Amino acid sequence: MRGRRRIRTAAVSAAAALLCAGMVAGCTAGSPGAADPAESRAPAAARTPARTPVPSPTPDSLWDVSPGSVAAVGDSVTRAFDACAVLADCPEVSWATGTDAAVNSLALRLLGPAKVATRSWNLARTGARMAELPEQMAGAAAEKPELVTVMMGANDACRPTPELMTPVADFRFSFETALARLRAGAPKAQVYVSSVPDLKHLWSTGRLSPAGLEVWRLGICGSMLKDAEDLGPAAERRRTAVRARVVAYNKVLEEVCAEDERCRYDGGAVFGFRFDGGQLSPWDWFHPSRDGQARLAELAYRRITKE
């Protein structure tokens, strides 16, 4: 048994070294005026009939709960990085466009197995930050999808130090620009926007794993995961600052999405989801596992298909 443990520890150490080397760590109606005295004296038949105002369409009235094509943009989570093997994207188990029946991705649920290959596109890139989203959105627009999924922002907070996190104003500018790029090429595409996960919760879960701690010591998401066992006041202030930045990013996603009548924010569902050890990658205790990807697919499907 001890020999097996030594072998497992060595394997984790090797995987951790590879991971560290490979990881790259947004017609209002006016008040009616007073009646004209001349009009009030005119015969009733000669008066212009009052027109009933037509209400502006609400976002829900424009939302199709069964879109026929899906384009996914974002970062390593949408590429299912580390879900199947260490240091590898595994798009077949992606929550958004994967083909794995056990995950039952959003695209599988909406389109069915026969159409996933031809009616869905995964344009996400592992390591991407919000500044890259406008380019990804332009690529999505070129496919003319009926739905675009967005999961971006974790890498903006996951920097070597909190000082290097993306400023909130820059995050907002990039996200607004990205939506504008999409609207220029695909004005009627619907957009589902996922909240950024709660990185502090991931820390609180993964720090209980010796394997997770071993990998994290090599520098994954240093702003949150550095010195993961340190519970002192300085470390807690650092983690709290990172979490506050994630909350600010999610506020931006919610506000900007609310300005677009064909956009739905997840209401903080992903941020509020409590990933446990079985829903995190066994290689880095940070990215979602297959089971974690399945949970993300369920959250997205529930929001997108809500009447």
CA angle at 239 for the pair 238 and 244, rounded to the nearest 5°: 100
- What is the tens place of the pLDDT at every residue in 13-69? 444 444 443 444 433 333 333 333 333 333 333 333 333 343 333 445 689 999 999
Of 139, 154, 141, give the one whose Cα is nearest residue 194: 154
In this prediction, residue 260 carries a pLDDT of 97
Do residues 109 and 185 lie in contact, with contact meaning Cβ atoms separated by under 8 Å? no
- What is the tens place of the pLDDT at every residue in 110-152? 999 999 999 999 999 999 999 999 999 999 999 999 999 999 9
Joined together, the tokens standing for residue 157 give 């907070």
154, pLDDT greater than 60: yes
Q: What is the mean pLDDT of residues 67-86?
A: 97
The CATH number of 2-22+67-304 is which of 3.40.50.80, 1.10.260.40, 3.40.50.1110, 2.40.30.20?
Answer: 3.40.50.1110
167, pLDDT greater than 60: yes
In this prediction, residue 60 carries a pLDDT of 55
What are the angstrom distances between the C-alpha of 303 and each of 49, 65, 113, 130, 194?
43, 9, 21, 23, 10
Q: Where are the domains of the chain?
A: 2-22+67-304
- What is the tens place of the pLDDT at every residue in 206-261? 998 898 899 999 889 999 999 999 999 999 999 999 999 999 999 999 999 999 99
d(CA 65, CA 34): 45
| Helix or strand run (H / E) with residue 120 | strand 120-122
Long-range contact set of residues 18-24: C-beta below 8 Å, sequence gap at least 24:
18/86, 18/87, 19/82, 19/86, 19/87, 19/215, 19/218, 19/220, 19/283, 19/284, 20/215, 20/218, 20/219, 20/220, 22/87, 23/87, 23/126, 23/127, 23/220, 24/126, 24/127, 24/155
Q: What is the mean pLDDT of residues 189-212?
A: 95
Q: What is the mean pLDDT of residues 157-163?
A: 98
- What is the tens place of the pLDDT at every residue in 259-275? 999 999 999 999 999 99
Rg of the chain on CA atoms, in Å? 24
In this prediction, residue 62 carries a pLDDT of 87
